[in-house]
Amino acid sequence: MAKSQGPAQPSPKLQALLKDFQQIASMSGYLNHAFDPPQLRLFFTLYGRVMVASPEQGLSLTPQLQAWCDAVSNRLREGSSGTIMAPQVQVSAPQTMPDGRDYLVATLTFNTKVTETSYLRIRTAILAAYQDAVKMREVGFSVGPPMPGPMDAPVAQPDSVPSSNGMDEPSQSAT
């Protein structure tokens, strides 16, 4: 009697790629996946967060956060030669943390599929996007229009400085 075979098992290479992409996504978001041998389907959520001094400042920075999302979305598409589907973007209203600090957050969700041979360009684009999100969380927005390459823009946001515990907090600037 023949044994029935279950679904095709993913190759060790696809399993290793999944672990790599999970590590990248953990920088500032998360990843869901599905194995569809010979492909790996990836569903990403990326969070872009910036600390603000007040809800009013958050409202005034909403267009800049939207522009950041648009730039990241374009770089994801271009960097992956169009294999990453157009991200869906949601920018929240300013929110207050339990400790009283205010922040603004954008959520980008996007998906793609990779194979054992077609992952490097996608990985590079996704890594750059997550690095941009971490940089924004740690030091704020870049000045001027978004730069074409990841992590290239000069940074200036006097309203937030990284604290010693890794969380952003509004600075107390002297006037």
What does the pLDDT read at residue 117? 87
For the stretch 98-146, pLDDT in tens is 999 999 999 999 999 999 888 999 999 999 999 999 999 999 875 444 4
* Distance, CA of 159 to CA of 128 (rounded, Å): 25
The CATH class for the domain spanning 12-143 reads alpha beta
The mean per-residue pLDDT over the stretch 6-31 comes to 91
Q: What is the domain partition of the chain in residue ranges?
A: 12-143
What does the pLDDT read at residue 14? 93
What does the pLDDT read at residue 143? 41
What does the pLDDT read at residue 22? 96
For the four alpha carbons of 5, 6, 8 and 13, in that order, the dihedral sign comes to negative
* Distance, CA of 42 to CA of 32 (rounded, Å): 6
DSSP 107-164: EEEEEEEE-SSS-HHHHHHHHHHHHHHHHHHHH-PBSSSPPSSTT-S-B--TTEEE-T
Instruction: Report yes or no: 94 and 59 within 8 Å, Cβ to Cβ.
Output: yes
* Distance, CA of 91 to CA of 57 (rounded, Å): 15
pTM: predicted TM-score of the whole model, two decimal places: 0.76
* Distance, CA of 54 to CA of 117 (rounded, Å): 47
Other C-beta atoms lying within 10 Å of the C-beta of residue 65: 22
Greater pLDDT, 40 or 159: 40
What does the pLDDT read at residue 142? 57
For the stretch 32-85, pLDDT in tens is 999 998 899 999 999 999 999 999 999 999 999 999 999 999 999 999 999 999
What does the pLDDT read at residue 123? 95
Phi, psi of 151 (to 5 degrees): 65, 25
Cα 101 to Cα 13, 97, 170: the distances in Å are 43, 5, 7
* Distance, CA of 175 to CA of 170 (rounded, Å): 15
- Tokens describing residue 63: 């267009």
